[in-house]
């Protein structure tokens, strides 16, 4: 957050991002020498998120809200995504990075009570609890944070009560000291802990009414909700007066829910919406002319893909997956539909450390080779497929282009089924497995190439919706996460990308690039390569 005060500096043995296990970390300022210019309200377009509970939130729509309501032990700096202190003012680790100690600063809940180490332990116990059924629980488990006892709690028999389990690797030394013991070396831990699933929650508030907590969660962040979530309409937040850090500049933010991107952009053009994230592709060129500097276009740590359900025929056959990929003219799609976005030649965007630009030899348009491979592999039964995707978010045109390429180059007839966003996630994550090619995207949870691979392709990941499983890949991913420094893990990270690039569990379509438009009433506007809008720094001047 922008401030005129010189930040305090603390020394930590964090190894956060890493060239060395001991780093110097700049603490977020707790006071300023000049009163910040504040005031006004911002309206911002989102689609309906599935959850606002930080232990359940799983998508970028919910993340936009939750990151303002809660602060974890660590945060990401808006500039460059570096890890900075949040509730923890400092941290240190032992020599092999298996025991970490986080020292909490003096912070408060809205009712004035202190945020303590036990609040984190209770919250993380909720996340891992099988009774909560969190889709993002895995971030604390083996192969990710690797907290001892986390995976064991999740795999235990449900008790019928959320939050009554314990995680062996967590210990409150005192109210302001949290000790975390891991099952293996992990140099990425401070980065991983910035994910919203590791936010603290107040036990008394959650247990008083668990369902109401998801409708109006009480957090420790720079903003707070002013009324319960008005589903399919809006989510209203205002600046918190108990926040420990630099206050946000806007008084209030309205997250306004639209069912389609086109509807949001029309409202923006009519002057009824301040910020729209995602200018419709067909209007992007004219938007560049009309908006000028008020259109932010920036590469982000994200990509869009077509997932292939790897455990079902005909997608079990790697040659079918390769043929489907080579039959798509992704360069034409990116140039014509996405108006000049980068065409993926791998599975980790270039903004991530350790990304390989050409990790995928099959990521090329070669209809002749695709047809030969398709026929030799036996093709798709009946030469017919159904593609599922989330409708109303601007995906219809490129999904249709993929279907047209498959028809022209492989003789496949594709049908479509669209869902609204929340219903789509319920469908993909439901008990009945999806057996059709599906549209989805991934944005990084923390700034590491590892985060583009492990969640999507590791055998036991909760976000692995293709069912893909490669022991060889998992072995390389383990080398990455257990390296003493992030740089030490780069060779294994590159090998992991080559494995994914050969086996093709998904078809990469485009790398992320934001197109965010805002009104003339706003200034000091920024958007990060994480794909998040920096609400806290925006100056509102209605004239």
Q: What does the mean pLDDT of the chain come to?
A: 90
Angle subtended at Cα 307 by Cα 301 and Cα 309, rounded to the nearest 5 degrees: 145
Protein fold of 299-514: Dipeptide-binding Protein; domain 3 (3.10.105)
**How many residues are present in the chain?**
543
Numbered ranges of CATH 3.40.190.10 in the chain: 9-252+519-540
Where are the strands (E) in 216-294, listed by range?
Answer: 223-225, 234-239, 252-257, 275-277
CB 187 within 8 A of CB 206: no
pLDDT cut 90: percent of the chain above it: 77
Taking only the tens place, the pLDDT of each residue in 135-156 is 999 999 998 999 999 999 999 9
Residue ranges in 226-366 assigned as alpha helix (H): 261-269, 284-291, 318-326, 330-332
pLDDT tens for the chain, residues 1 to 543: 111 122 222 223 333 233 233 332 333 344 444 454 679 999 999 999 999 999 999 999 999 999 999 999 999 887 666 899 999 999 999 999 999 999 999 999 999 999 999 999 999 999 999 999 999 999 999 989 999 999 999 999 999 999 999 999 999 999 999 999 999 999 999 999 999 999 999 999 999 999 999 999 999 999 999 999 999 999 999 999 999 999 999 999 999 999 999 999 999 999 999 999 988 888 999 999 999 999 998 888 889 999 999 989 999 999 999 999 999 999 999 998 888 788 888 999 888 889 998 899 999 999 999 999 999 999 999 999 999 999 988 899 999 999 999 999 999 999 999 999 889 999 999 888 899 999 999 988 888 899 999 999 999 898 999 999 999 999 999 999 999 999 999 999 999 999 999 999 999 999 888 889 999 999 999 888 777 889 999 999 987
% helix, strand, coil for the chain, step of 5: 30, 20, 50
pLDDT at 514: 82
Count of alpha carbons within 13 Å of 285, Cβ hemisphere only?
7
Please give the distance of CA 479 from its chain centroid, rounded to a whole number. Answer: 23
Task: Count helices and strands (H / E) in the chain.
Answer: 16, 20
Residue ranges in 379-525 assigned as alpha helix (H): 396-410, 421-428, 454-457, 471-481, 490-503
Numbered ranges of CATH 3.10.105.10 in the chain: 299-514
pLDDT at 80: 62
DSSP 333: I
Q: Which of 1, 135, 51, 116 is nearest to 465 (CA)?
A: 135
Distance CA 506, CA 456 (A): 9
Element (DSSP H or E) covering residue 386: strand 384-390
- φ/ψ of residue 513, rounded to 5: -145, 125
pLDDT at 22: 30
CB 533 within 8 A of CB 64: yes
Distance CA 61, CA 346 (A): 26
CATH fit for domain 9-252+519-540, picks 1.20.1440.120, 3.40.190.10, 3.40.50.720, 3.40.30.10: 3.40.190.10
CB 70 within 8 A of CB 57: no
Distance CA 25, CA 193 (A): 15
pLDDT at 299: 81
DSSP 470: -
């Amino acid at each position: 957050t922008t401030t005129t005060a010189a930040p305090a500096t603390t020394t930590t043995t964090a190894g956060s991002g890493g060239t060395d296990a001991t780093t110097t970390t700049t603490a977020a300022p707790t006071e300023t020498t000049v009163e910040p210019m504040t005031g006004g309200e911002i309206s911002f377009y989102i689609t309906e998120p599935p959850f606002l509970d930080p232990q359940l939130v799983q998508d970028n729509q919910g993340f936009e809200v939750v990151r303002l309501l809660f602060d974890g032990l660590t945060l990401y700096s808006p500039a460059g995504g570096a890890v900075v202190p949040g509730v923890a003012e400092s941290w240190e680790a032992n020599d092999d990075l298996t025991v970490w100690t986080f020292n909490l600063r003096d912070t408060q809940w809205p009712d004035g009570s202190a945020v303590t180490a036990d609040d984190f332990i209770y919250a993380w116990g909720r996340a891992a609890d099988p009774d909560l059924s969190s889709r993002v629980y895995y971030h604390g488990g083996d192969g990710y944070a690797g907290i001892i006892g986390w995976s064991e709690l999740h795999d235990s028999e449900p008790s019928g009560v959320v939050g009554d389990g314990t995680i062996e690797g967590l210990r409150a030394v005192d109210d302001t000291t949290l000790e975390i013991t891991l099952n293996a070396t992990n140099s990425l831990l401070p980065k991983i802990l910035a994910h919203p699933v590791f936010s603290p929650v107040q036990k008394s508030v959650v247990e008083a009414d668990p369902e109401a907590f998801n409708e109006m969660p009480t957090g420790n962040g720079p903003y707070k909700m002013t009324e319960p979530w008005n589903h399919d309409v809006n989510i209203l937040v205002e600046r918190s007066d108990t926040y420990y850090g630099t206050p946000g500049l806007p008084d209030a933010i309205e997250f306004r829910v639209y069912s389609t991107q086109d509807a949001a952009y029309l409202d923006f053009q009519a002057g009824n919406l301040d910020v729209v994230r995602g200018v419709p592709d067909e209007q992007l060129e004219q938007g560049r002319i009309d908006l000028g500097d008020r259109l932010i276009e920036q590469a982000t740590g994200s990509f869009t893909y077509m997932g292939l359900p790897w455990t079902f025929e005909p997608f079990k056959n790697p040659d079918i997956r390769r043929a489907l990929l080579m039959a798509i003219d992704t360069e034409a799609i990116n140039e014509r539909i996405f108006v000049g976005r980068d065409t993926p030649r791998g599975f980790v965007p270039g903004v991530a450390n350790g990304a390989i630009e050409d990790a995928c030899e099959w990521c090329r348009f070669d209809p002749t080779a695709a047809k030969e491979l398709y026929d030799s592999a036996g093709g798709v039964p009946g030469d017919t497929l159904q593609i599922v995707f989330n409708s109303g978010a601007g995906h219809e045109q490129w999904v249709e282009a993929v279907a047209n390429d498959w028809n022209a180059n492989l003789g496949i007839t594709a049908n479509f089924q669209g869902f609204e966003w929340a219903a789509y996630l319920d469908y993909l994550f439901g008990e009945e497995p999806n057996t059709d090619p599906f549209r989805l995207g991934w944005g990084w949870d923390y700034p590491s190439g590892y985060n583009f691979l492990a969640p999507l392709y590791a055998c036991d990941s909760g976000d692995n919706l293709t069912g893909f499983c490669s022991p060889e890949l998992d072995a390389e991913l383990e080398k990455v996460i257990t390296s003493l420094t992030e740089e030490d893990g780069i060779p294994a990270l590159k090998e992991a990308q080559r494995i994914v690039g050969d086996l093709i569990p998904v078809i990469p379509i485009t790398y992320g690039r934001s197109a965010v438009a805002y009104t003339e009433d706003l200034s000091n506007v920024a958007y990060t390569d994480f794909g998040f809008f920096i609400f806290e720094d925006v100056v509102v001047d209605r004239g």
